[in-house]
Amino acid sequence: MGTKTKVLVVDDSAVVRKVLTDQLARDPSLEVIAAVADPLLAIERMKITWPDVIVLDVEMPRMDGITFLRKIMAEKPTPVVICSTLTEKGAETTMQALSAGAVSFVTKPKIGLKDFLTESAAELIGAVKAAAKVNANAIRRGPAPMATPTPKLSADAVLPSGAQAMARTTERFIAIGTSTGGTQALEEVLMALPRVSPGIVIVQHMPEKFTASFAQRLDSLCQIDVKEAVHGDRVMPGRALIAPGGKHMLVQRSGAYYQANVIDGPVVNRHRPSVDVLFRSVAQQAGRNCLGVIMTGMGDDGARGMKELHDVGARTIAQDEATCVVYGMPKEAVKLGAVDHIVPLSEIAREILRFAGQELAIQRSEVRL
């Protein structure tokens, strides 16, 4: 008891360093051991005391944040919270940082920086405290969540409950929900899939602007097509649709096919997009024609939606604790009795292909891996 979380702040702006240090110092469980202007100074400071969490900017002189991250993860995986500017360029850079090993991020605007960081102190402190609790053994490259301090609503706020019984159709697809640790976990799963794979709909907790960059990155890496969902996009084989940040995504049945509906609405379980909203729509519109997957993430978003999927006959799987960066969302789904099978991250692609009856594709993916 009484042990404080040691935090290292790395940012080339003196104003940002001062504000971050002052805000973090407000929490008695946190101790800022140093605030330095670039990664080279950080490396020297870490020789004295290794931090529990690093708050890092990614655009800095002498050594960029991405190179620094890779060095840290190769030497000693450590939770890193990115403090990045919310711009298209900033989003793309942050995606690289998440892929390199960061577990979370907070955004900062170009103007009004001091007021923004002061007003967002709770978000910053929450992100740092959450990062301190992640499974360091599961940090290999990276994640990202955004918790919003708002009333916790259920999926009822967007979509009324009352699942409809659905007959089997030839069109089957996968619904995935994830949060902290999800960016890298999704990268591993989707890269293991062959081009001929079932359609996939995904909610990854992330704010707007970041989901587009995330989808573009995955599309460049994967055999399947990956895109940020647009209202009316068809859920089809060989394509993964990622819910856009700041919007909910639902699945709507249209004859024998399914399409993505992108809508506004209140935050659900403190998130928009919400996994519970997606899973409920899938339970109502697809039932047993879908495989539900819940992966690494903080909180319980998706647990009740997965129970609805399970109760209408859909197959459901959860990522196991050992490979989760944060075993929160899967744990809550398991507690509700919503999960048929618990598997490590490396087995999720196999489960997807098995659900689709693609035994040959499973064999090919094993050869590739």
Amino acid residing at 306: M
Q: Which residue has the tokens 């704010």?
A: 207
Catalytic residue chosen out of the listed positions 11, 300, 301, 320: 301
Amino acid at 304: R
Residues 6+ apart with CB under 8 A from 230: 260, 262
Question: Measured between alpha carbons, how far apart are the two ends of the chain, in Å?
Answer: 44
Measured CA to CA, the distance from residue 338 to residue 318 in angstroms comes to: 9
| The Cα angle at residue 81 between residues 325 and 294, in degrees rounded to 5 | 30
Can 301 be counted among the known catalytic residues? yes
> Is 205 one of the annotated active-site residues of the chain?
yes
Q: Residue 120 is encoded by which pair of tokens?
A: 């967002």
Set 84, 99, 104, 179: catalytic member: 179
CB-based burial of residue 132 (10 Å sphere; 0-12 exposed, 13-18 middle, 19+ buried)? Answer: buried
Q: Can you say whether the dihedral through the CA atoms of 281, 283, 284, 286 is positive or negative?
A: positive
H helix runs in the chain, sequence order: 14-24, 39-46, 65-75, 88-100, 113-119, 121-131, 182-191, 210-221, 275-285, 303-311, 329-335, 348-355, 359-368
Active site residue 248: no
Catalytic residue among 205, 248, 271, 310: 205
CB 178 within 8 A of CB 138: no
> Which residues are marked as active site?
179, 205, 301
